[in-house]
Amino acid sequence: MQTIIDTHAHFHDIVDPVAALQASAASGVSDIILPGVDLRSNQCHLALRAAHAWPRLHPAMGLHPAYVSDASTEDCFVFMRAHMAEAVAVGETGLDFHYKWVRADEGKKKEQRAAFARHLDLAREFDLPVIVHSRGAWRECLDMVTSAGIRRADFHWYSGPEDVLKDVLDAGFVISCSVAVEYSTEVQRAILYAPLGSILVETDAPAKIPVPSGERVPSIPGDVWRALRAVAAIKGVTVDHALATVNACACAVFNLPGFKG
């Protein structure tokens, strides 16, 4: 059976994680990267990995920019540092200046920058890649990542401008795309522009995805095949070629232990 890696899923938010793991394994998902967004999700992902051997689960330790002012922020950093050796990446971290009320709030932006900088320090210290959430702050995220001396980074669900994308790629970083590549013109443009070898696929599960009835339903990692097929169509390559290329890219970025393809 062909196997695929979902490079971004949030199992702490999935209602029935065991059913999602089983269904994803049945469709050929061999590996799932689990970015944390707060203390609880970082703890949840480590416990989930301890309880399930297949698909292989790879926690990443992070505090999402949307949660930087939570009461548990300091506890989260203590926990992340203590368990960073068990992680394949630092993230999900970054900046989110998408909303007007955040853009208008200098204090909020400062808080996000400070938390992001702490993640970048951890990534350098532990020599780990960074999963970057850069919505509405693409240029500033790239500037912070490069000036921190980070060597590996995934600009997750990249939907930003092409000039920043060019510099992301020139710096040797990669982008990941979700099932949104089926319908988002921003994501499609990014995938058209980036070389296939610099693209990862993900679901951001349980991010909602459209189904034939017209509804939007929560995704599971098995839906990553939809992102792959859309990438192959945009790049004009076979699904097999796209699969081999995105899997190789994921293994290189995340240095996946025990990956056999």
Residue 226: CB minimum distance to Zn ion, A:
17
Paired with 208 in beta bridges are: 218
Residues 229-248 that bind Zn ion (CB under 5 A): none
41 or 232: CB nearest Zn ion: 41
Residues 184-223 that bind Zn ion (CB under 5 A): 204
Q: Kindly provide the b/e burial profile for residues 50-67, where b requires at least 16 CB atoms within 10 angstroms of the residue's own CB.
A: eebeebbbbbbbbbbbbb
Residue 10: CB minimum distance to Zn ion, A:
6
| Residue span 27-66 as binding mask against Zn ion, x where in contact by CB under 5 A, dash where not | ----------------------------------------
62 or 232: CB nearest Zn ion: 62
41 or 247: CB nearest Zn ion: 41
20 or 232: CB nearest Zn ion: 20
Residue 12: CB minimum distance to Zn ion, A:
11
- Strand runs labelled E in 108-245: 130-133, 153-155, 174-177, 199-201, 208-210, 216-218
Number of C-beta neighbours around residue 36 at 10 A:
32
To the nearest 10 degrees (0 to 180), the angle between helices 138-147 and 106-126 is: 40
15 or 53: CB nearest Zn ion: 15
Residue 105: CB minimum distance to Zn ion, A:
22
Secondary structure tally for the chain: helices H, strands E = 10, 10
**Within the chain, what is the greatest distance between any pair of CA atoms?**
51
Count of residues interacting with Zn ion (CB under 5 A): 2
Displacement of CA 252 from its chain's centroid (Å): 15
Residues 84-113 that bind Zn ion (CB under 5 A): 92
Which residues of the chain form contacts with Zn ion (CB under 5 A)? 92, 204
